Amino acid sequence: MSTIDLSQFYINGRWVAPSGRDTLDMINPATEETVAVLAMGDASDVDAAVAAAKAARPAFAATTKLERRALLERILEVYSRRIDEMAQAISIEMGSPISFAREQQAQVGVDILTAMVADLEAFAFEHTLLNGDLIVMEPVGVCGLITPWNWPVNQMMLKIAPCLAAGCTMVLKPSELTPLSANLLAEIMDEAGVPAGVFNLVHGAGPTVGSSMSRHPDIAMMSFTGSTRAGTSILKESADTVKRVTLELGGKSPNLVFADCDLERAIDEGIDACFINSGQSCDAATRMLVERPVYDRAVELAAVKCARVKIGDPSQPGDHLGPLVSQMQYDRVQKMIQVGLDENTRLVCGGLGKPEGFETGYYAKPTVFADVSNDMRIAQEEIFGPVLVMIPFDDEEDGIRLANDTPYGLGAYVQSGDPARALRVAKALQSGTVNVNGAYLAAGSPFGGYKSSGNGREGGAEGMRDFLEVKAIALPE
């Protein structure tokens, strides 16, 4: 990976020095060593980036669908050529094992861009209603994008690609924990010829840069992915300027395992769906609800599977889990494991502390709790680490009730040997996405949640609609 300078921001097509002097050490979570020093922005940097986006907005909004599709194709070409650099950046900044970083974390950028090109080609920005009125879809304007650290490219691309497709300009504030991938993405945008001012990047903390964006009168829309607490703050801060706000927030996703499924496969896939990315996914299958006749056997299988999960050095290829992203995240996971122990659950695998041989780095033990009640904290609160809770249920009605008994509604999973029941249950779940019998949503499908998991959708045509205003025009006959 080429050296990425973290002392500058990308504003109006140029790398520029920030106005402030605050910095933040960037820590490699596998070694706990400082690998870079990140410049942190302030309100003045936001003002400069928004001014650039505002100035670029009229010309970019006037581009044709064909021109924007060509731009996305150029970004895809440059990104694909530099994908190995992106994988290296993600592995260093968040501890993602290099094979996983290449095959999933970085690859998702290709998938999202490819789907967005196809969806843009098929999208109709104008259509006539049955009553004869003309409907015109127009870019909403300057957009503020705030993204998290856990799937950095996925979340940046899910906002940037539809923003560009819709004809909007933007200011991106990525997580301060994952600046390498964000800066590399800015380099890719520049190399692909994104017009000056259309894409702008400012690093900084949420209470400073993020709040300045939410309150800025020249930002027409905020798109945020992160915690429910932070999303609530953005909604409040955006209210005075009547911004459009879309939010992709937390989750506590249920995985309903029925007795008629292939139990060994279901438990194997369920553990993987919980522990993927070291459990740091908002739609991770963290609540495994198992039909009572096979519950004891499911717990046995989960214990065996969990014990076989490998921990490894992120720099080495292979199928293993890496560390958590930071000391703060490690401490949070340890606290919640202690909560589980205090709630008198049955510890099936894992527990407190670091895995043997990984005393340096923010590594957590893959952990499974059984005999959990759905009203316990570990069943209701998002842990964001490799921690699974197992809960028995009596029948289909009871399983659906428990699955929906959560403040969240982002992801859900169903395992059943009866396809009709699997679909019936999927439709009954209060969740923005449902994965049935090992299937996963493809790039281009809408992603988002019910209830405290947010509002709006990301991905494909549905995601692009969030970046568009609807104008109705009455024409004489």
Tens-place pLDDT, residues 17-36? 999 889 999 999 999 999 99
Average pLDDT, the chain: 97
Answer yes or no: do 231 and 270 share one domain.
Answer: no
Q: Is residue 3 a part of any domain in this protein? A: no
Q: Is residue 396 a part of any domain in this protein? A: yes
pLDDT (tens digit per residue) in 83-117: 999 999 999 999 999 999 999 999 999 999 999 99
Q: Is residue 2 a part of any domain in this protein? A: no
CATH of the domain at 24: 3.40.605.10
Answer yes or no: do 167 and 266 share one domain.
Answer: no
pLDDT band at 4 (very low <50, low <70, confident <90, very high): low
Please give the pLDDT value at position 20.
83
Compute the average pLDDT of residues 233-257. 97
Q: Is residue 447 a part of any domain in this protein? A: no
pLDDT band at 179 (very low <50, low <70, confident <90, very high): very high
Q: Is residue 201 a part of any domain in this protein? A: yes
User: Which residues form the domain of 403?
Assistant: 254-442
pLDDT (tens digit per residue) in 293-340: 999 999 999 999 999 999 999 999 999 999 999 999 999 999 999 999
248 is catalytic: yes
Answer yes or no: do 312 and 422 share one domain.
Answer: yes
pLDDT (tens digit per residue) in 395-437: 999 999 999 999 999 999 999 999 999 999 999 999 999 999 9
Answer yes or no: do 394 and 467 share one domain.
Answer: no
Indicate the number of domains in the chain.
2
Q: Is residue 291 a part of any domain in this protein? A: yes
| Residue 3 pLDDT > 70 | no
Percent of the chain residues past pLDDT 90, beyond the cut: 98
Please give the pLDDT value at position 404.
98
Active-site entry in 85, 176, 187, 248: 248
Answer yes or no: do 118 and 45 share one domain.
Answer: yes
Q: Is residue 81 a part of any domain in this protein? A: yes
Answer yes or no: do 218 and 361 share one domain.
Answer: no
Answer yes or no: do 224 and 312 share one domain.
Answer: no
Answer yes or no: do 243 and 287 share one domain.
Answer: no
Answer yes or no: do 277 and 377 share one domain.
Answer: yes
pLDDT band at 477 (very low <50, low <70, confident <90, very high): confident
Please give the pLDDT value at position 365.
98
pLDDT band at 67 (very low <50, low <70, confident <90, very high): very high
| Residue 1 pLDDT > 50 | no
CATH of the domain at 375: 3.40.309.10
Answer yes or no: do 35 and 88 share one domain.
Answer: yes
| Residue 2 pLDDT > 50 | no
pTM above 0.95, yes or no: yes
Compute the average pLDDT of residues 188-205. 98
| Residue 6 pLDDT > 70 | yes
Answer yes or no: do 182 and 314 share one domain.
Answer: no
Compute the average pLDDT of residues 170-179. 98
3-state SS string over the chain?
CCCCCCCCEEECCEEECCCCCCEEEEEECCCCEEEEEEECCCHHHHHHHHHHHHHHHHHHHCCCHHHHHHHHHHHHHHHHHCHHHHHHHHHHHHCCCHHHHHHHHHHHHHHHHHHHHHHHHHCCCEEECCCCCEEEEEECCEEEEECCCCCHHHHHHHHHHHHHHHCCEEEEECCCCCHHHHHHHHHHHHHCCCCCCCEEECCCCHHHHHHHHHHCCCCCEEEEECCHHHHHHHHHHHHHHCCEEEEECCCCCEEEECCCCCHHHHHHHHHHHHHHHHHCCCCCCCEEEEEHHHHHHHHHHHHHHHHHCCECCCCCCCCCECCCCCHHHHHHHHHHHHHHHHCCCEEEECCCCCCCCCCCCCCCCCEEEECCCCCCHHHHCCCCCCEEEEEEECCHHHHHHHHHCCCCCCCCEEECCCHHHHHHHHHHCCCCCCEECCCCCCCCCCECCCHHHEECCECHHHHHHCCEEEEEECCCC
Answer yes or no: do 208 and 267 share one domain.
Answer: no
